[in-house]
Chains A and B, each alone.
Chain A
């Protein structure tokens, strides 16, 4: 792990606006994140833990540029970060085959001809350890684990350097979880990736991550290496989370 940052989140505060025709000007603003500040370094897997509703997914959307921060700034050192979602059932377009879904990001990119796109799709399919038969399948013909592998392949096909994984194994069986986590770890080495790994499952974070952020009500209350945080938690909230995960 180096000290070269791939992502800097600097004192970010923000949330959601809900505009409507008859309430223009009125402030329908719901603040979710308060002064969030951290850095993701090259090659690391940074865990983000906290109970549901604390703003983890909002933070992910903000990093991806889908929600604008009110204050603070988000500095990307890599182009086009991608995301892997929790629910493998809604992360693939049900109308199209796996091959189409994997090829689509390359079509949008527009720099490769059809033959090169096909070659890259096959190579990525191999990396996520799926058989070639999967290419012609629609998502509803695949298992949850297979779908999650396809989602990972689709997120990686344009070779991003930084990936946000939002509860990527929470919807899967324990045995499948272990396989997907091992795959993510291997891909980090092979493709030189850095992850922000969002999870409410501290056991999974302990297995996979190098460092961890603890979030409570939109604030980062504690951060450090896995050993620091899990073995010597400083905050009451972290201790409670750890106790609940025993």
Chain B
């Protein structure tokens, strides 16, 4: 009997991501300082024990702001990946399984969407759905993320279509829905899970880019991308603001990336 062993990539990735998630979760209920409380006497303070990431031009505690911001960013990234993965998998399953003309048509549409720069596409969606709030960002990014998931899962489902166990299930009289959901879907996890980790990272970065450009999250919400935008305006006087926020984004992406890498490695070892 072969057992799946957790490898170093996965372990380090889980530790980094777990720590960040835990801090964000705590930050949702309690932050060391009020993230929006200003203080005239504590402007532009460098990182210290009282203010781990220092303070900004209004004397606000950056660590507390980053905790709140990463909560928003994580929520947006998770929701985005959820939309992309669920709808994308659905499209990929249907096209990969049934093939034929529907497959050709949907995949050409997919090519067209993929050929569009994703930020531009997101901007387009934002301008259609109206004024910016975080739900519109989620919707825009979710739509942008559908094609990549559709492509990955389509290949997986198409590859399983002629597997002998699928033929057997069909001969037993299993419905198409049952074959897709119960017989095929669990076997696409090996491509779906790494795709989810990559998608999550792309979502974090896309949200950061959009908020930085001012087409994403706007006050009173604050995301990591929005904090970076703020930090840019005081780069000379409070460089720790951009540095600390950037490091948190980098760590988040790095940790989840390691998880994805680890999952793929584990899969190769088993196979």
Contacts and interface: CB of A to CB of B under 8 A. Distances in A.
Interface stretch (B17-25, B100-108, B193-201): B100-108
A81 B173 CA distance: 11
Interface stretch (B71-79, B164-172, B230-238): B164-172
B100 A96 contact: no
A92 B169 CA distance: 10
Given A19-B100, A66-B167, A90-B165, 19 more contacts: A19-B101, A20-B100, A80-B171, A80-B172, A85-B168, A91-B168, A93-B165, A93-B187, A94-B187, A95-B187, A108-B173, A108-B174, A108-B178, A109-B173, A137-B1, A140-B2, A140-B270, A154-B168, A155-B168
A137 B2 CA distance: 11
Contacts of B1: 137, 141
B164 A85 contact: yes
Interface in A176-213: none
B5 to A, nearest CB: 15
B162 to A, nearest CB: 9
Q: Which of A93, A96, A105 has the most CB of B within 10 A?
A: A93
A239 interface: no
A246 B2 CA distance: 40
Interface in B56-110: 100-101, 104-105, 108
Contacts of A140: 2, 270
Contacts of A238: none
B187 to A, nearest CB: 5
Interface string B106-122: 00100000000000000
B188 to A, nearest CB: 9
B173 A141 contact: no
Contact of B186 (A66, A92, A96): A96
B163 interface: yes
Nearest to B107: A21
Contacts of A92: 165
Contacts of A93: 165, 169, 183, 187
A119 to B, nearest CB: 19
A90 B163 contact: yes
Contacts of A90: 163-165
Contacts of A96: 186
A22 B163 CA distance: 27
A158 B171 CA distance: 11
A169 to B, nearest CB: 15
Contact of A95 (B2, B100, B186): B186
Main secondary structure of the interface of A (DSSP, over half): loop
6 contacts: A82-B168, A83-B167, A93-B165, A95-B189, A141-B1, A154-B168
Contacts of B183: 93
A85 B165 CA distance: 9
A124 to B, nearest CB: 14
A23 to B, nearest CB: 10
A66 B168 CA distance: 11
B114 to A, nearest CB: 18
Contacts of B2: 140-141
Nearest to A19: B100
Contacts of B169: 93, 104, 108
Chain A CB within 10 Å, residue with most, of B2, B168, B189: B168
Given A19-B100, A21-B101, A90-B164, A82 B171 contact: yes
B109 to A, nearest CB: 12
A242 interface: no
A87 interface: yes
A158 B170 contact: no
A108 B172 contact: yes
A64 interface: yes
A83 B172 contact: no
A158 B108 CA distance: 42
Contacts of B170: 66
Given A94-B187, A141-B1, A83 B168 contact: yes
Interface string B147-179: 000000000000000011101111111100010
Contacts of A20: 100-101, 104
B145 to A, nearest CB: 25
A189 to B, nearest CB: 24
Most chain A C-beta atoms within 10 Å of own C-beta, residue among B2, B167, B187: B167
B187 A21 contact: no
A105 B270 CA distance: 28
**Which 7 residue pairs across A and B have the least CB separation, nearest first?**
A21-B104, A95-B186, A91-B164, A85-B164, A105-B172, A93-B165, A90-B164
